[in-house]
């Protein structure tokens, strides 16, 4: 019998030449949120796939974990997202509020990295957002024990059908709501020709932001 092929991927020769834009200290303001809004609007114009998708990285016992969540609002210089407070990320945030957010917009050849601390938003704001979600999403948020081990998807489908048949009130549960990330650093990365990428980092210093350029 022939020997079993060894599984693997050879990626060393995959290359992309970045040359769509440049990022210069002379063309940006001293407020990183203005630049973020500008980049976000441009991401929409070039039809980036889900431009509000961001990687949320948390830490537990010195081990990182990451997942995609959706940015729902940029408010008062904070980044808002919503989830189940009893999920893995919710528990990790409860124990360690230091997080990182990462946006990647490949069409624009851009990346934004944010490091900061997270805190829950107020219950009224969480309920206001919960109530504008589609009914199906609200029910799923209520019946799903997010991140917990289940034996089969059929369990969730049965719970969903039972909830609908009993016509229970669709109210935000206490274990579901919003967080806001208060940034301490925000780094903007613009792909550059010959791998000479532009990286400008904003660092919060009391009420102002300091900028510095990083080598690619």
* Residues tagged active-site: 195
Structure tokens at 141: 């948020």
3-class secondary structure per residue, 64-133: EEEEEEECCEEECCEEEEEEECCCHHHHHHHHCCEEEEEEEECCCCEEEEEEEEEEECCHHHHHHHHCCC
Cα 6 to Cα 119: distance, rounded to the nearest angstrom: 46
Burial class (CB in 10 A: 0-12, 13-18, 19+), 147: middle
Specify burial of residue 75 (Cβ count, 10 A radius: 0-12, 13-18, 19+): exposed
Label the pairing between strands 198-205 and 208-214: antiparallel
Angle of helix 135-143 versus helix 153-165 axis, rounded to 10: 120
């Amino acid at each position: 019998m022939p020997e079993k092929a060894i599984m693997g991927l050879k990626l060393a020769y995959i290359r992309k030449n970045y040359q769509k834009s440049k990022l210069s200290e002379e063309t940006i303001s001293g407020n990183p949120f203005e630049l973020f809004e500008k980049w976000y609007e441009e991401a929409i114009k070039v039809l980036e796939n889900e431009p509000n998708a961001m990687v949320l990285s948390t830490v537990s016992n010195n081990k990182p974990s990451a997942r995609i969540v959706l940015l729902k609002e940029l408010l008062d210089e904070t980044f808002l997202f919503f989830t189940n407070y009893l999920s893995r990320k919710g528990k990790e945030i409860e124990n360690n509020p230091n997080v990182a957010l990462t946006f990647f917009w490949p069409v624009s050849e851009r990346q934004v990295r944010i490091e900061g601390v997270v805190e829950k938003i107020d219950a009224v704001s969480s309920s206001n957002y919960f109530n504008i979600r589609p009914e199906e999403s609200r029910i799923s948020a209520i019946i799903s024990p997010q991140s917990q081990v289940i034996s089969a998807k059929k369990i969730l489908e049965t719970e969903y059908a039972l909830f609908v048949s009993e016509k229970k009130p669709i109210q935000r549960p206490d274990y579901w709501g919003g967080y806001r990330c208060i940034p301490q650093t925000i780094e903007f990365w613009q792909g550059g020709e010959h791998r000479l990428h532009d990286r400008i980092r904003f660092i919060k210093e009391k009420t102002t932001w300091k900028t510095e350029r990083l080598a690619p």
